[in-house]
Amino acid sequence: MSRTTLNEMQEHLPAILERVAAGEEFEVVRGGTVVAVLTTPRRRRDTAKLRLQELRAGASIGDVESPIDEPWSVHDAAP
């Protein structure tokens, strides 16, 4: 991932956007702190899909067999 400052972005925005469109990512730095990341929309969507897959792998479904007409309380639930 490349880094650029706000001043460099102002001077070279068209070239930076071309590189982003080609798949490169840029961290935008202000005062030594990353304030933004430039990436293509498709890349962001792919990253989100991967994150969802990771979350699904660790997810579990609770008790789905209990009758729905029985009263229950969150305090009755097993830890």
Mind listing the pLDDT tens digit for each residue in 57-79?
A: 887 766 556 666 777 676 765 55
Domain assignment of residue 24, given as a range = 1-41
Residue 32 lies in a domain: yes
Residue 74 lies in a domain: no
Based on the structure, what is the number of domains in the chain? 1
Residue 15 lies in a domain: yes
Cβ(5)–Cβ(30) below 8 Å: yes
Residue 7 lies in a domain: yes
This prediction's pTM? 0.53
For residue 27, which amino acid is it? E
Residue 20 lies in a domain: yes
Residue 9 lies in a domain: yes
Residue 22 lies in a domain: yes
Residue 56 lies in a domain: no
* Residue 76 CB-half CA count within 13 A: 5
Higher pLDDT, 1 or 16: 16
